[in-house]
Amino acid sequence: MFCCLCLEWILVMLFEGFLASSAKTLVRGMVGQNITLPCDYSTKRYGITTMCWGRGTCPTFTCDDTIVRSNGQQVTFRKSSMYQLMGNTDQGDVALTIVNVTESATGTYCCRVEIKGWGNDQKTHVEVMIEKGEQNT
């Protein structure tokens, strides 16, 4: 009986986690602009914690194709200088700014805030669509 209840609880938590992490925000931009992908968390509730941004959907653990990682106070890894955390990271603003964006930035991004405890990570998916600007002749 106990094992069945545990298994049921685990399945519900995994399913709810999947639903919560499947919502996407859409950010549109033009080539050459700076764009900002939103992501934040409550430092009052969780304290200052580690986080990462990756390309693609959020996997079960950590970030795939990590582009930025922070310990909550400073960036500890950056794949390229075009990726910036310009908000107040110590206040939970971990929005990603992509500087001078190119068409190759189009795609899905994952912001993962690493919250203590099993299965507690906050996952935010952002879909980016970059279009060519009109050229002046």
Q: Which residues neighbour 98 within 8 Å (Cβ) at sequence distance 6 or greater?
A: 34, 35, 36, 37, 82, 83, 84, 105, 128
CA dist., res. 77 & res. 70, Å (int): 7
Do the Cβ atoms of 50 and 99 come closer than 8 Å?
no
Burial (0-12, 13-18, 19+ Cβ within 10 Å), 79 = middle
The pLDDT value given to residue 21: 43
Q: Domains in the chain, start-ordered, CATH in brackets?
A: 2-131 (2.60.40.10)
Q: In what order do the strands lie in the sheet with 83-85?
A: 35-37, 96-98, 83-85
Per residue in 23-50, pLDDT tens?
Answer: 689 999 999 999 999 999 999 999 999 9
Do the Cβ atoms of 59 and 52 come closer than 8 Å?
no
The pLDDT value given to residue 7: 42
Helical (H) or strand (E) element with 131? strand 122-131
pTM of the complete model: 0.79
The pLDDT value given to residue 23: 61
Per residue in 70-127, pLDDT tens?
Answer: 998 899 999 999 999 999 988 999 999 999 999 999 999 999 999 998 888 999 999 9
